[in-house]
Amino acid sequence: MDIIFLSEVKVQTHLGVPDWERLAAQTIILDIEIAMPDSSSCQTDDISDTIDYGVVVSRIRETLAERSFKLVEALAEHVCQLIMHEFGAPWVKLRVAKPGILPGLKALGVVIERGEKLPHGNHP
Ligand SMILES: Nc1nc2c(c(=O)[nH]1)N=C([C@H](O)[C@@H](O)CO)CN2
């Protein structure tokens, strides 16, 4: 199973339980691992045989600029489903961090995993 990783991706979005918190956009930080459907791009050296991570980042920034969520859990689910459905990834692990929310800690948030990792060599 080959994995694309995206580390400390900064994204602007409207997020928070209280209504006032969602009025202004805030910066959240995503760490993403995306399983690839197969490893053919390692042989072909062709971008069309893999998931283009630049396109993934653009789509996440686009959707989170348009959407508003109360919970980090709901935002994380939305991002995982987008990556799996739009890019055909069989498995995604996502860490969503909200920095500077509570005094005395750097960040808080969630880590979720969706889908299934295909065993090595057992892909279409
Ligand atoms: N499990 C969660 N707890 C809390 C969340 C959340 O998204 N998931 N959010 C908040 C507030 O938005 C807080 O971050 C700022 O007011 C509180 N607890």
Measured CA to CA, the distance from residue 78 to residue 69 in angstroms comes to: 10
* Domain assignment present for 53: yes
- pLDDT score at 117: 87
Q: How far is the CA of 42 from the centre of ligand 1 (A)?
A: 41
Element (H, E) at 91: strand 91-99
Number of domains in the chain: 1
Say what the ipTM of the complex is: 0.97
* Domain assignment present for 121: no
Residue 49 backbone zone (phi > 0: left; psi -120 to 50: alpha; other: beta): alpha
Q: Which residues pair with 27 in a beta bridge?
A: 12
**Do residues 37 and 88 lie in contact, with contact meaning Cβ atoms separated by under 8 Å?**
yes
* Nearest Cα residue to atom 8 of ligand 1: 71
- pLDDT score at 10: 98
DSSP 121: T
pTM (2 decimals)? Answer: 0.95
- pLDDT score at 121: 57
CATH number for 55: 3.30.1130.10
Residue whose CB lies within 8 A of the most ligand 1 atoms, among 17, 28, 70, for a mutation test: 17
* Domain assignment present for 110: yes
- pLDDT score at 118: 77
Structural domain that includes position 24:
3-115
- pLDDT score at 120: 67
Measured CA to CA, the distance from residue 32 to residue 109 in angstroms comes to: 14
* Domain assignment present for 91: yes
* Domain assignment present for 123: no
**pLDDT mean for each 10 residues of the chain (124 residues):** 97 98 98 97 98 98 98 98 98 98 96 89 52
Q: Strands 26-35 and 68-69: what pairing?
A: unpaired
Taken in order 115, 120, 122, 123, the sign of the CA dihedral is positive
* Domain assignment present for 48: yes
* Domain assignment present for 85: yes
